[in-house]
């Protein structure tokens, strides 16, 4: 960024408040670097997270710091931007105010809300305890601990049934995250951990991937779905499509064929159940809907207009997973590139409005392709209709993800870590760290 | 390790139980790889930790996985060794049994206990809450969170007194850990964080280093102490030697001159107080002392004989920070090289006993030197009486620490991370992650 072209910010410049430092928020902030506005970025976490690689932290391949960077560091060189670690609790759109937890309201001239989505358990929030989802770094280290502890407990058991249960891993949902998690768990069992245990044959672990619809990776073509299925089975993953989860408890779950409620469900013991099935937009969407003419879709997304703004509130924008944006009659998927392009668009639009220029053209998402990795040299890519499989797709996946990580200083480190992991089949970040509320037995109890 | 020379382990081989996977335990296990014994390594954590670099995790320079490696992975190729994730609660030395939390007793033929030391607050354990110590990865991420949150809170404050308090950091104890922490905090404030905040001038942070004795780094020569003091002051650290902590509370502490209880203590507001002042050996030492003729020293270390064994229990060894070993009339310091050499020694000794050979010579610690780093290109080293300072000492420090990390796969990664940090003055691992019991506001509350 050419810092020299940034003028010294002035107090009378319009104030843009960005809520959420994900892809949309970060790209919007960067897009406003040389605009005559004051920008305030609010986030309840201090880091921007490269969510697409979260599954690699959950399976011990990368460290949290490899895929996250302090927002403050990413935006340090933008003189007109400040970052505040704050939880936003609501808005007063009429008076253009943002309510923050434990702080005074912030006034804005323009507001962009992009707080993303969390897991949805389709009304069964009680399952969250037994089947954690993967949305934050803390989720990832929690899953890593759960998976590693299962093996540790299995190693100490004499009961074959218990060992089998502890080494059974179920991933619910066969979208990209579910597929990537299941593939990584299978590779970990058969490769990384092999030979490290004395009474557990980790390569005999069961990894199940459960999907309600009739194929894995439903957003991809049927052909790529079939490839992904074959690749998963090659890695030893048991794929159960057309299968619904009926019940989840502590170490058990019940499965039944989709749409056939009468069948006796299959009961399964599984030490680890991971949830990658549904998302639910951030609760801030509901608050925005109450104060505007915008509607709310079922998973809590808020409908936005062609310029990503709220109906009746042209100065309020919603982007990324929280927004329901329709293009050619279809809702855009909750993907990082959508959020990035929307964030950049809103920055451009605000810049034009400030200068009194004609309004920007409607937002249009350019789909550069989608990809999912299954394992070592196994991936599927769909790049504008061109389909790739196997090693070529995997190399494309690596390349694209490293390019995206360009925003971070640590691209080189990730590349080297991956190279190392590839050669050694190792996952060095296999650490079991503190469980909230866990026993601590240092002489003095710690801090 | 030449795997081919390891015979298939047999059930009738003597059983060696190692408690604690620190330097002593790991080196002892490795030393027994080709001995005709079965080895069981018990630890309540799944990883071996390179403690001397913990301060770099606490100050965001390295990730936890850079300085820790799964014990299981480190010992995977030793067919005669198994690793169990267990908390040891006591012993029955008479019947040669180890009591474990929630598991059956383990019987042993040889026992080696090396569970190290935790913080000691000299009878004021209530200070632990306000002044955390640095002994585990969880301590390090907790300190990292505390330091980073102080700056985040300062950025949101309008009250100059509060900002000053929040950007005041006190390190208690000027041994190597305290000096390294204070130096890293000062460099972080003046370098890494500079320019990232809008209302806080991080370079005006106060870093105080408090030491009861009359100089920093008391184990080093007075000359090197003076160099270290000058280096610390160059970085902006306020060094208070001859000063005792009288009281620590939430965000406040009281200091007074050593040995002068009558002076009115100086009261100081400090957002972060870190404790690097005293250690207390693991409570297992007390249990061993009760069941043997060995004495217990004041910080809870247990006295061992010339072959590191307990008086009256030739099959029980204690090594590392838990052991009080006297050489030439002086107790060996609690340093990694001592633990490593003792671990290797005990492995050799057990090997000789198994073969019925004459007993090993008494253990003798070979002091290869000591070093402490203060900051970029600032360190002090004492290598067998040869003293080094500044950039040369710093390069020596880097070299030696990378060599020690050789046991881990990630030496290359640390080298690259350091190179990166050096060039960019960056600390990419500045992540505030979950606080046990912290608020979580995903729609579904997480797992």
pLDDT digits (tens, 9 = 90+) for B121-131: 988 999 999 99
Contact state of A138 with B441 under an 8 Å Cβ cutoff: no
pLDDT digits (tens, 9 = 90+) for B306-355: 999 999 999 999 999 999 999 999 999 999 999 999 999 999 999 999 99
From A46, A118, A446, residue closest to B128, measured CB to CB: A446
Cβ atoms of B37 and B355 closer than 8 Å: no
* Residue partners of B445: CB distance under 8 A and separation at least 6: A125, A128
pLDDT digits (tens, 9 = 90+) for B349-398: 999 999 988 777 999 999 988 899 999 889 999 998 899 999 999 989 88
Question: Integer distance in angstroms from the first to the last C-alpha of chain A?
Answer: 41
Contact state of A413 with B413 under an 8 Å Cβ cutoff: yes
Q: How far apart are CA B388 and CA B371, in angstroms?
A: 9
Please count the CA atoms within 13 angstroms of the CA of A128 that sit on its side-chain side.
21
Contact state of B195 with A73 under an 8 Å Cβ cutoff: no
From A119, A148, A420, residue closest to B46, measured CB to CB: A148
Flag whether residue B298 sits within 8 Å of chain A, measured between CB atoms. no
Q: To 5 degrees, how large is the angle CA B75–CA B76–CA B78? A: 70
Please count the CA atoms within 13 angstroms of the CA of B128 that sit on its side-chain side.
21
What is the DSSP pairing of strand A88-92 with strand A97-100? antiparallel
Which residue is catalytic, options B180, B211, B280, B303? B180
Tokens found for residue B269: 């507001």
Predicted pLDDT at B274:
97
From B142, B152, B443, residue closest to A447, measured CB to CB: B142
Beta strands of A211-251 (E only): which ranges? 237-240, 243-249
φ/ψ of residue B190, rounded to 5 = -85, -25
Predicted pLDDT at B445:
28
User: So what's the ipTM on this one?
Assistant: 0.86
Tokens found for residue B377: 């290109």
Tokens found for residue A418: 């991956």
Q: Which residues pair with B254 in a beta bridge?
A: B247, B267
Q: Which residues of B touch A141 (CB under 8 A)?
A: 433-434
Beta strands of A325-446 (E only): which ranges? 326-327, 330-331, 370-375, 378-383, 386-389
Q: What's B39's DSSP letter?
A: E
Q: To 5 degrees, how large is the angle CA A432–CA A434–CA B444? A: 100
Residue B447, Cβ neighbours under 10 Å: how many? Answer: 22
Predicted pLDDT at A428:
65
Please count the CA atoms within 13 angstroms of the CA of B402 that sit on its side-chain side.
15
* Residue partners of B391: CB distance under 8 A and separation at least 6: B377, B378
In the numeric block, the tokens 């008494």 are attached to B362
Contact state of B70 with A152 under an 8 Å Cβ cutoff: no
Residue A291, classified by CB atoms within 10 Å of its CB into exposed (0-12), middle (13-18) or buried (19+), is middle
Flag whether residue A68 sits within 8 Å of chain B, measured between CB atoms. yes
Q: How far apart are CA A388 and CA A359, in angstroms?
A: 39
Q: CATH top-level class for B3-119+280-354?
A: alpha beta
Predicted pLDDT at A443:
31
Q: CATH top-level class for B125-277?
A: alpha beta
Alpha-carbon distance B384 to nearest alpha carbon in chain A (angstroms)? 34
In the numeric block, the tokens 């390594």 are attached to B41
Q: Which segment, A2-16, B25-39, B424-438, is predicted with the most confidence on average?
A: B25-39
Alpha-carbon distance A39 to nearest alpha carbon in chain B (angstroms)? 12
Predicted pLDDT at B410:
57
Nearest-Cα residue of chain A relative to residue B140:
A447
Nearest-Cα residue of chain A relative to residue B424:
A409
Q: How far apart are CA A379 and CA A55, in angstroms?
A: 15
Q: Which of residues 193-252 of B touch A (CB under 8 A)?
A: 195-199
Three-state DSSP state, A221: coil
φ/ψ of residue A419, rounded to 5 = -60, -45
From B300, B432, B444, residue closest to A46, measured CB to CB: B432
Would you say the CATH fold of A125-277 matches that of A3-119+280-354? yes
- What Rg, from alpha-carbon coordinates, does chain A have? 23
Q: Which residues pair with B90 in a beta bridge?
A: B99
Chain centroid offset of residue B57 CA: 12
In the numeric block, the tokens 């579904």 are attached to B444
| pLDDT by position in tens, chain A (length 447) | 444 567 788 889 999 999 999 999 999 999 999 999 999 999 999 999 988 889 999 998 888 888 888 899 889 889 999 999 999 999 999 999 999 988 999 999 999 999 999 888 988 999 999 999 999 999 999 999 999 999 999 999 999 999 999 999 999 999 999 999 999 999 999 988 988 999 899 999 999 999 999 999 988 999 999 999 999 999 999 999 999 999 999 999 999 998 776 778 899 999 999 999 988 888 899 999 999 999 999 888 999 999 999 999 999 999 999 999 999 999 999 999 999 999 999 999 999 999 988 777 999 999 988 899 999 889 999 998 899 999 999 989 888 887 777 655 556 666 667 666 666 666 666 777 655 433 333 332 222
Q: How far apart are CA A315 and CA B356, in angstroms?
A: 86
Q: Is the pLDDT of residue B5 over 80?
A: no
Cβ atoms of A71 and A21 closer than 8 Å: yes
Tokens found for residue B214: 């009359």
Residue A159, Cβ neighbours under 10 Å: how many? Answer: 10
Q: How far apart are CA A372 and CA A356, in angstroms?
A: 43
**Residue extents of the structural domains in chain B:** 3-119+280-354, 125-277, 369-424
CA distances from A327 to A318, A322, A330, A386 (A): 15, 16, 5, 22
Percent of chain B with pLDDT strictly greater than 90: 68
Percent of chain B with pLDDT strictly greater than 70: 89
φ/ψ of residue A59, rounded to 5 = -110, 15
φ/ψ of residue B62, rounded to 5 = -130, 160
φ/ψ of residue A180, rounded to 5 = -65, -40
φ/ψ of residue A246, rounded to 5 = -90, -35
Chain centroid offset of residue A81 CA: 25
Residue B9, Cβ neighbours under 10 Å: how many? Answer: 16
DSSP state letters, A53-103 = GHHHHHTTSS-GGGSEEEHHHHTTT-TTEEEEE--EEEEETTTTEEEETTE
> How many contacts, defined by CB atoms under 8 Å, are there between A and B?
244
């Amino acid at each position: 960024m050419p810092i020299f072209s940034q003028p010294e910010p002035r107090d009378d410049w319009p104030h843009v408040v960005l809520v959420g430092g994900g892809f949309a928020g970060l790209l919007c902030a960067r897009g406003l670097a040389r605009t005559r506005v004051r920008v305030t970025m609010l986030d309840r976490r201090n880091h921007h997270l490269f969510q697409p690689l979260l599954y690699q932290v959950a399976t011990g391949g990368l460290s949290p710091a490899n895929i996250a960077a302090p927002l403050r560091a990413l935006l340090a060189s933008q003189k007109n931007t400040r970052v505040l670690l704050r939880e936003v609790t609501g808005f007063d759109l009429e008076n253009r105010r943002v309510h923050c937890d434990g702080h005074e309201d912030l006034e804005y001239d323009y507001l962009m809300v992009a707080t993303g989505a969390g897991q949805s358990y389709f009304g069964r929030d009680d399952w969250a305890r037994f089947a954690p989802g993967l949305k934050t770094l803390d989720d990832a280290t929690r899953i890593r601990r759960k998976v590693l502890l299962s093996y540790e407990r299995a190693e100490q058991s004499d009961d074959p049934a218990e060992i089998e249960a502890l080494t059974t891993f179920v991933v619910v949902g066969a979208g990209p995250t579910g597929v990537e998690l299941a593939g990584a768990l299978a590779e970990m069992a058969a490769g990384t951990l092999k030979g490290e245990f004395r009474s557990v044959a980790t390569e005999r672990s069961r990894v199940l991937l459960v999907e309600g619809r009739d194929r894995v990776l439903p957003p991809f073509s049927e052909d790529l779905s079939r490839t992904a299925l074959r690749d998963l089975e090659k890695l030893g993953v048991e794929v159960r499509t057309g299968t619904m989860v009926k019940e989840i408890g502590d170490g058990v779950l019940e499965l039944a064929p989709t749409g056939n409620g009468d069948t006796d469900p299959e009961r399964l013991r599984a030490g680890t159940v991971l949830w990658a099935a549904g998302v639910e937009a951030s609760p801030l969407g509901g608050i925005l809907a109450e104060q505007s003419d915008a509607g709310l879709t079922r998973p809590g997304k808020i409908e936005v207009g062609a310029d990503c703004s709220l109906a009746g509130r042209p100065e309020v924008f919603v982007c990324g997973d929280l927004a329901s944006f329709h293009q050619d009659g279809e809702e855009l998927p909750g993907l990082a590139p959508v959020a990035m392009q929307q964030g950049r668009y809103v920055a451009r639009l605000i810049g034009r409005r400030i200068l009194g220029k004609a309004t920007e053209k409607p937002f249009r998402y350019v789909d550069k392709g989608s990809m999912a990795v299954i394992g070592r040299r196994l991936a599927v890519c769909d790049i504008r209709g061109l389909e790739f499989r196997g090693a070529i797709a995997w190399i494309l996946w690596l390349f694209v993800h490293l390019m995206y990580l360009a925003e971070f200083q640590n691209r080189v480190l990730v590349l080297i870590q991956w190279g190392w992991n590839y050669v050694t089949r190792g996952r060095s970040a296999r650490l079991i760290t503190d469980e909230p509320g866990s026993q601590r037995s240092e002489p003095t109890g710690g801090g």
